[in-house]
């Protein structure tokens, strides 16, 4: 699944999940769960109810705070402060998040997206599917959200129990608890006082918060009684989402950041710092930290008392602006390290505050104040940086980090994802062990690299077990790998995956996934209608455009190429379309014209090494060896970690000095690479 489909609107600053006394995952078998009127909770719980009423959670989605914006009638308001975004109802029950928001601090409107998004056909225009709140946003702004999408009429009849994130969003359906409360004392022994949930441990509290405070894809509507990895695909620590040291980069919310932290490893949970009902800190300012830490004295931070530099959050929870004006703090609780930050290119609290100072001055001061300071991550960031940049010692440091018992699971998963560029027997052993790891995120990462490190009968023996893993997120990941490989599948293997797509049918991606499943299960008559449905919902959904062109190419190649060219005119910067058109021309034997488009795709996406690789192969096969070699050299300079580029260059070059240099570089990065056991791959001639 494509977890980039996400909410584009504001989510409150540093707010916790609503967690309190009666929450954990133990089902009460007495009767079916029923949702209650949220207002009834205040009858017995007036104190916490009053705290909640003024919280950001209670105001997450409200009746319109203004009648219209730019002449458009406002249906609902999302968020409270520092910004409010407005939902406009359009065709067939769609609620679209408008591209202009209200700054509650400056008391003025501002645009959330670039100027070109004002044109209706732009992918970021507010009427496009990227801003369809029914499928991306509302679930975390109301209680008991139901999309209620009708695929036949392409209509939403979305509903919810209550506006805002209410009591039952975290405690679960309350009617049985209310029934218990109304009974005579003879009913006192009803399990869990009538709740479906009971007091829970640290991980289970985090699970309730993570339903919204995480970068994720949904596997089902959230239920507090179901384990997190059975209902969410948590996004990994990719270079697009997180900095190399694990700090937040894109809009990832808090969960993925927090579970990397030493706080998490020590058992700290959201409610240790945040009041679960008011969503405010448990104590004012620095006092929330001094509940556990007694290091606020000047000799710890070396800044003037009451200055910004003396605040715990300034150094250990640096913030970034999202949604135009919303400062959000990093929750990995890192420590500053300006020297490492300068070397690896990640952000740093010291360098961030002292932007007008020479970095060497900042680093010198830091070393003077903290002469014994060492990276708190035990070398994780350095290992990941070396792996992603093809530096000397990359493989050894990756393996060393993977062998640490104290490595947070989400970081272990990030390290595993780099192994395909550093194959070895040891790498295979790490992946095999990771498939047995207790954490589903680690198993998912291992599955994703399997096809790159194992082949043939080994893979065939593994897939049946992986497809029946006890955790849904792992099963889905395994099946997606088989789909990506284009392997034929049996109907019973995809039943759960098809149910997942049914949950997301308001999106183009779900219909595209249905098309892929139909094709791989020999239901070809269902593939084309599914692709057409995908493009009806989002005419710019690139995977469906490319798949439809490939399907049409079998009968009408010219029509397929015209489809891609038309899409190119609408989306001139989409390198995927240029690349797809080039491959179509290759398949039709039009190699000279295909080379033109391959060159264009490579220029449009210089960091996409696969495009450069295919372009170089096509040039070489056309007899243009010199150009092919230069394309590979340029691409390898940009992406020295990409093993496929190095192997191709070794095959094509006739310069023995270049071959020796390439092998020496490989030896320095990964001395156990299988290629070094046979350093003379078959040389190709055009």
Query: Is residue 15 situated within a structural domain?
Result: no
CA distance 38 to 169: 10
pLDDT score at 178: 86
Return the DSSP state at 288. G
pLDDT in tens, 163-196: 999 999 998 888 888 888 887 565 556 565 655 5
pLDDT in tens, 33-92: 789 998 999 989 999 999 999 999 999 999 999 999 999 999 999 999 999 999 999 999
Confidence band (pLDDT; 50, 70, 90) for 4? very low
CATH at residue 382 = 1.25.10
What Rg, from alpha-carbon coordinates, does the chain have? 27
Residue 681 tokens, joined:
């791959």
Instruction: Judge if 474 and 621 occupy the same domain.
Output: no
pLDDT score at 192: 59
- Boundary residue ending a domain (421, 453, 487): 487
CATH at residue 614 = 1.25.40
pLDDT score at 412: 99
Query: Is residue 106 situated within a structural domain?
Result: yes
CA distance 172 to 563: 49
CA distance 652 to 686: 9
pLDDT score at 188: 57
Q: Which stretch of 19-33, 440-454, 628-642 has the lowest confidence by average pLDDT?
A: 19-33
Q: Which residue has the higher pLDDT, 411 or 201?
A: 411
Which of 270, 175, 230, 226 has the alpha carbon at shortest distance from 25? 226
Q: For the whole model, what pTM was predicted?
A: 0.91
Q: Which stretch of 15-29, 342-356, 410-424, 599-613 has the lowest confidence by average pLDDT?
A: 15-29
pLDDT in tens, 385-426: 999 999 999 999 999 999 999 999 999 999 999 999 999 999
pLDDT at 464 over 70: yes
Which of 197, 245, 198, 202 has the alpha carbon at shortest distance from 223? 197
Q: How many domains does the chain have?
A: 3
Which three-class secondary structure state does DSSP give residue 367?
A: helix
pLDDT in tens, 603-656: 999 999 999 999 999 999 999 999 999 999 999 999 999 999 999 999 999 999
- Boundary residue ending a domain (487, 517, 549): 487
Residues in the chain: 686
Query: Is residue 305 situated within a structural domain?
Result: no
Report which secondary-structure segment, H or E, holds 467: none
Confidence band (pLDDT; 50, 70, 90) for 23? very low
Q: Which stretch of 202-211, 417-426, 601-610, 656-665 has the lowest confidence by average pLDDT?
A: 202-211
Percent of the chain with pLDDT over 90: 80
- Boundary residue ending a domain (487, 518, 538): 487
Burial of 305 (0-12, 13-18, 19+ CB in 10 A): exposed
Burial of 368 (0-12, 13-18, 19+ CB in 10 A): exposed
pLDDT at 117 over 70: yes
Query: Is residue 8 situated within a structural domain?
Result: no
**Structural domain harbouring 454:** 377-487
Tokens 């100027």 belong to: 115
CA distance 97 to 629: 48
Query: Is residue 52 situated within a structural domain?
Result: yes
Query: Is residue 446 situated within a structural domain?
Result: yes
Average pLDDT (213-225) is 90
pLDDT at 511 over 90: yes
pLDDT score at 680: 64
Which of 564, 581, 585, 577 has the alpha carbon at shortest distance from 604? 577
Query: Is residue 316 situated within a structural domain?
Result: no
What is the 3 state secondary structure string of 519-555? HHCCCHHHHHHHHHHHHHHCCCCHHHHHHHHHHHHCC
Query: Is residue 166 situated within a structural domain?
Result: yes
Instruction: Judge if 613 and 469 occupy the same domain.
Output: no
CA distance 667 to 656: 16
CA distance 17 to 3: 21
pLDDT in tens, 285-302: 889 999 999 876 788 899
pLDDT score at 403: 97
∠ Cα 544 131 213 (to 5°): 105
Specify whether the CB–CB gap between 171 and 17 falls below 8 A: no
Q: Which stretch of 165-174, 226-235, 676-685 has the lowest confidence by average pLDDT?
A: 676-685
CA distance 571 to 356: 40
pLDDT in tens, 364-393: 999 999 999 999 999 999 999 999 999 999
Average pLDDT (423-433) is 98
Instruction: Judge if 483 and 621 occupy the same domain.
Output: no
Instruction: Judge if 629 and 483 occupy the same domain.
Output: no
Query: What is the average pLDDT score of the chain?
Result: 90
Which of 572, 629, 558 has the alpha carbon at shortest distance from 603? 572
Q: Which stretch of 136-150, 213-227, 421-435 has the lowest confidence by average pLDDT?
A: 213-227
pLDDT score at 205: 87
Residue 224 tokens, joined:
């507090």
CA distance 77 to 60: 8
Determine how many CB atoms are found less than 10 A away from the CB of residue 495: 10
| Strands 155-156 and 149-150, sheet pairing | antiparallel
């Amino acid at each position: 699944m494509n977890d980039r489909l996400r909410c584009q609107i504001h989510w409150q600053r540093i707010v916790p999940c609503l967690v309190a006394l009666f929450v954990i995952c133990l089902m009460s078998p007495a009767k079916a769960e029923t949702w209650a009127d949220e207002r009834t909770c205040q009858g017995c719980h007036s104190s916490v109810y009053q705290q909640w009423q003024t919280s950001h959670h209670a105001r997450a989605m409200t009746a319109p705070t203004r009648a219209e914006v730019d002449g458009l009638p406002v249906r609902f308001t999302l968020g409270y402060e520092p910004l409010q975004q407005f939902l406009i109802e359009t065709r067939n029950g769609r609620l679209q998040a408008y591209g202009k928001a209200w700054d509650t601090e400056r008391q003025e409107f501002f645009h959330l997206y670039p100027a070109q998004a004002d044109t209706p056909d732009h992918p970021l225009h507010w009427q496009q599917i990227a801003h369809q709140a029914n499928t991306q946003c509302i679930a975390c702004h109301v209680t008991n959200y139901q999309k209620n999408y009708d695929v036949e009429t392409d209509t939403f009849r979305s509903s919810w129990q209550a506006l805002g994130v209410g009591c039952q969003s975290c405690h679960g359906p309350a009617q049985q608890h209310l029934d218990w409360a109304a009974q005579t004392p003879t009913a006192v022994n009803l399990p869990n006082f009538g709740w479906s949930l009971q007091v829970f441990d640290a991980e289970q509290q985090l699970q309730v918060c993570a339903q919204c405070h995480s970068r994720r894809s949904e596997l089902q509507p959230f239920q507090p009684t179901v384990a997190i990895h059975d209902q969410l695909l948590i996004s990994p620590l990719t270079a697009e989402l997180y900095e190399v040291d694990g700090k937040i980069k894109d809009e990832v919310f808090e969960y993925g950041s927090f579970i990397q932290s030493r706080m998490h490893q020590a058992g700290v949970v959201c409610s240790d710092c945040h009041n679960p009902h008011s969503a405010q800190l448990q104590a004012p300012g620095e006092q929330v930290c001094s509940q556990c830490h007694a290091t606020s004295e000047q000799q710890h931070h070396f800044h003037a008392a009451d200055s910004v530099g003396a605040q715990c959050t300034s150094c250990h929870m640096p913030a970034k602006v999202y949604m135009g004006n919303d400062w959000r703090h990093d929750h990995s609780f890192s420590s500053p390290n300006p020297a490492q930050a300068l070397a690896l290119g990640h952000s740093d609290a010291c360098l961030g505050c002292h932007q007008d100072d020479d970095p060497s001055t900042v680093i010198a001061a830091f070393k003077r104040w903290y002469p014994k300071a060492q990276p708190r991550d035990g070398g994780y960031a350095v290992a990941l940086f070396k792996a992603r940049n093809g530096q000397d010692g990359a493989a050894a440091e990756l393996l060393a980090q993977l062998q640490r018992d104290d490595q947070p699971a989400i970081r272990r998963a990030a390290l595993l994802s780099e192994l395909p560029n550093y194959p070895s027997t040891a790498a295979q052993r790490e992946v095999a062990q990771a498939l047995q790891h207790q954490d589903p995120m680690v198993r998912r990462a291992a599955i994703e690299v399997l096809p790159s490190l194992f082949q043939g009968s080994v893979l065939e023996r593994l897939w049946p077990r992986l497809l029946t893993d006890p955790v849904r997120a792992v099963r889905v990941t395994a099946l997606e790998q088989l789909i990506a490989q284009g392997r034929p599948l049996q109907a019973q293997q995809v039943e759960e995956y098809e149910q997942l797509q049914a949950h997301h049918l308001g999106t183009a991606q779900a219909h595209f996934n249905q098309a892929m499943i139909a094709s791989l299960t020999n239901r070809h008559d269902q593939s084309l209608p599914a692709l057409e449905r995908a493009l009806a919902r989002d005419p710019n959904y690139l995977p469906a455009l490319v798949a439809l062109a490939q399907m049409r190419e079998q009968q009408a190649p010219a029509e397929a190429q015209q489809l891609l060219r038309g899409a190119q005119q609408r989306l001139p910067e989409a390198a995927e379309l240029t690349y797809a058109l080039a491959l179509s021309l290759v398949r039709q034997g039009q190699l000279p014209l295909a080379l033109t488009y391959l060159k264009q795709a490579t220029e449009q996406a210089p960091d996409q090494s696969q495009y450069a690789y295919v372009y170089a192969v096509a040039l070489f096969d056309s007899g243009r060896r010199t150009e092919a070699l230069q394309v590979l050299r340029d691409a390898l300079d940009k992406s020295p970690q990409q093993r496929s580029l190095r192997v191709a260059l070794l095959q094509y070059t006739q310069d023995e000095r270049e071959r020796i240099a390439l092998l020496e570089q490989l030896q320095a990065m990964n001395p156990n690479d299988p290629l070094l056991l046979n350093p003379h791959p078959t040389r190709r001639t055009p």
